Amino acid sequence: MDQLSGGEMLIRALHDEGVNIIFGYPGGAVLHIYDAIFNQDKVEHILVRHEQAATHAADGYARSTGKPGVVLVTSGPGATNAITGIATAYMDSIPMVVISGQVESRLIGSDGFQETDMVGVSRPIVKHSFMVRRPEDIPLIVKKAFHIATTGRPGPVVIDVPKDVTDPKDKFPYQYPDTVKMRSYAVPDKGHSGQIKKAVEALLKAKRPMIYAGGGVIQGNGSELLTTLTRKLGFPITNTLMGLGAYPASDKQFLGMLGMHGTYEANMAMHYCDVLLAIGARFDDRVTNSDISKFCPDATILHVDIDPASISKTVIVDVPIVGSVVSVLEEMLSQLESSKQDVDKPSLEVWWNQIGQWREKDSLHINKCEDGVTIKPQEVVKAVYEITKGDAFVSSDVGQHQMFAAQYYGFDKPRRWINSGGLGTMGFGLPAAMGVQFAHPDAVSVCITGEGSFQMNLQELATCMQYQLPIKVICLNNRALGMVKQWQDMQYGGRYSHSTYADSLPDFTKLAEAYGHVGIKIDKVADLHSKLQEAFALKDKLVFVDVWVDPDEHVYPMAIKGGSMKDMILSKTERT
């Protein structure tokens, strides 16, 4: 048995857990661990420029692969800088393990230099956390941390490591456990057969069915089964912002995204359906609209989720099914197979005709600018979709550009759309795109961003240079905090309180060049396709494309506050 120090055990345990890349930033409390990293070549460490970016990069890695993202930061400010990224992962149920340094055990509680109670500070935004008290506990703690982070409803786990625990002078026998069992942590697996039977019966009787699938389907690797089930039933389906790609967007049964900025047909079908099958979705307020009592008034609601606490949290459901998406979908399919009954085809035809009429509204129609010069932000996303043939990994930041990306880049595959849906973290896009590029070196990693969000983590341009990441940053530059401005237009009489800064924007092309990248500016619609093509043709380079778009554009459709899902603003002049 090898004799290893705490720091060495930590890195060896990561390797034994199958981790080959971690994102981090060194500092005093983790220097022993960094020395252990220096002395091996199994686990690659990526040096970011800010700890928040380390968490987002690990997050992008996790979302695009399904494997846990791993972060290493120092104590105090290193740990607190990681907090936003941990909260982002927590809200979207992303598997992540964050190792934070801590001051020496004897100093804990003494307000030592760079001391923060990381376990305390992170408590509300982690699935679980550990404080390592003895070096010999490290292998088991790492095993437990990965087990908890990746099973059930995934989430971030923090391991806080006091410096003395990693002292290279103290060696201990190292053995990594094969399995771990915790009496206080059980993972729900198969859904209850009786409940699934009830759900299948409801689906077979449905006259106006609707499937509403969320991020849980992607996290639970259930996309293929969901697609099989949906096609077998012939039912309409919508995906949440987090669920985009769970069902192919180009399929005729797909009605688009639902919710606050969902399509007219998806939201109408939700409102008028009589049986709603919710899978891996949590009835978020951005989906249901603000008045829960008006949500799906006629529907029998079937809810599949791995987290019992998600069930009947906001909307009371009729048939709850707790279990992994894959196990439940498999059993649903086998029960459907063996059922003698078929779906109510005549009613379904009437329902599809109704949906067809809603589709004619063409709620995502782009009205080009009359001057023939100004670029609409939606046109940019469409052009990126065409040039990348819909096959890129697309990360986004938060705001109007995020919604345009979600609406106009039709994702046909899971794990391609990487965005901060729950927490809504500006500054997520670029570091997440880095994580994606590390995980998929040969794929096209696009970051659709805005000039507001981008400035929240632009220091990562340096990381992209250091590791030669050929990310394509597409900045929908509207010279304002677009979504804030949109709300101020709609609800605050156009009083733009602190949402504009046109006079103080940097020249982004020069900024990109200063970091050694390529910058391209586009401000005429006639140049849009050719210049974007030029950018994507530079396969080995990070290209920052600064696209000046119509600053007055709003995101539509938009839910009317206090209404039901059928209440939408469709354009500056039209509402339902």
134 near other proteins (CB under 8 A): no
- Verify binding: residue 136, other proteins, rule CB under 8 A: no
Among all chains, which residue has been given the structure tokens 């769970």? 246
Give the shortest CB-123-to-other proteins separation in angstroms. Answer: 5
Beta-ladder partners of 5: 171
Closest distance of CB 117 from other proteins, Å: 10
Those residues with Cβ within 8 angstroms of residue 310's Cβ, 6 or more apart along the chain or in another chain: 153, 282, 303
Which CB, 176 or 185, lies closer to other proteins?
Answer: 185
Candidate list 148, 302, 332, 444; residue touching other proteins; CB under 8 A: 148
91 an active-site residue?
no
Are the C-beta atoms of residues 533 and 387 closer than 8 Å to each other? yes
Figure out which of the listed residues 50, 56, 127, 271 binds other proteins, where binding follows CB under 8 A: 127
* CA atoms of 182 and 144, how far apart (whole Å): 8
**Quick one: which of 120, 194, 356, 506 contacts other proteins (CB under 8 A)?**
120
- Which residue type is seen at 213? A
Give the separation between CA 448 and CA 233, rounded to whole angstroms.
35
Which residue, among 304, 301, 296, has the nearest Cα to 280 in the 3D structure? Answer: 304
Q: Mask: binding to other proteins, 179-208, rule CB under 8 A, as x and -?
A: ---xxxx-----------------------
User: Nearer Cβ to other proteins, position 186 or 373?
Assistant: 186
Angle at 458 between CA 500 and CA 393, to 5 degrees: 105
Q: Name the active-site residue from 51, 265, 451, 460.
A: 51
Check if the beta carbon of residue 189 is closer than 8 Å to that of residue 327: yes
Residue 132 Cβ vs other proteins, minimum distance, rounded to whole Å: 12
295 annotated active-site = no
Of 312-371, binders to other proteins (CB under 8 A) are 312-313, 316
CA distances from 217 to 15, 187, 222 (A): 28, 17, 5
Least spacing, CB of residue 310 vs other proteins, in Å: 9
Helices (H) and strands (E) in the chain, counts: 21, 22
Minimum distance of other proteins from residue 336's CB (angstroms): 30
CB of residue 90 to other proteins, shortest distance in Å:
12
Phi, psi of 222 (to 5 degrees): -105, 10
Give whichever of 207 and 313 is closer to other proteins, judged by the CB atom: 313
Q: Is-contact 392 566, C-beta < 8 A?
A: no
CB of 153 to other proteins, least distance (A): 8
Is 515 in a helix, a strand, or coil? coil
**How many residues at the interface with other proteins, by CB under 8 A?**
19
* By the rule CB under 8 A, 35 interacts with other proteins: no
Q: Which is nearer to other proteins, 286 or 313 (CB)?
A: 313
The DSSP-derived string for 147-192 is HHHHSSS--EEEEEEEGGGG-TT-EEE----S----TT-----SPP
How far apart (Å, rounded) are the C-alpha atoms in residues 320 and 304? 6
Quick check: 457 and 431 in contact, CB under 8 A? yes
Active-site residue, selected from the candidate residues 67, 114, 294, 521: 114
CB 86 within 8 A of CB 149: no
Distance CA 276, CA 555 (A): 27
Judged by beta carbon, residue 53 or residue 131, the one nearer other proteins is: 131
- By CB under 8 A, residue 109 contacts other proteins: no
Closest to other proteins by CB, 321 or 381: 321
Residue 478's nearest CA partner among 497, 452, 503, 459 is 452
CB of 479 to other proteins, least distance (A): 38
Tell me which stretch binds other proteins (CB under 8 A): 124-132, 204-212, 231-239, 532-540: 124-132
Q: State which of residues 1, 41, 111, 124 lies at the interface with other proteins (CB under 8 A).
A: 124
What value, to the nearest 5°, has the Cα angle with vertex 57 and ends 188 and 139?
55
Nearest to 256 by CA among 500, 575, 568: 568
* By CB under 8 A, residue 128 contacts other proteins: yes
Q: Does 575 bind other proteins (CB under 8 A)?
A: no
Residue 335 bears catalytic tag: no
Q: Is 488 a catalytic residue?
A: no
Site for other proteins in 258-317 (CB under 8 A): 307-309, 312-313, 316
Annotated catalytic, 490? no
Interaction between residue 71 and other proteins (CB under 8 A)? no
What residue ranges bind other proteins (CB under 8 A)?
119-120, 123-124, 127-129, 131, 148, 182-185, 307-309, 312-313, 316
Q: Residues with catalytic annotation?
A: 51, 113-114, 163, 483
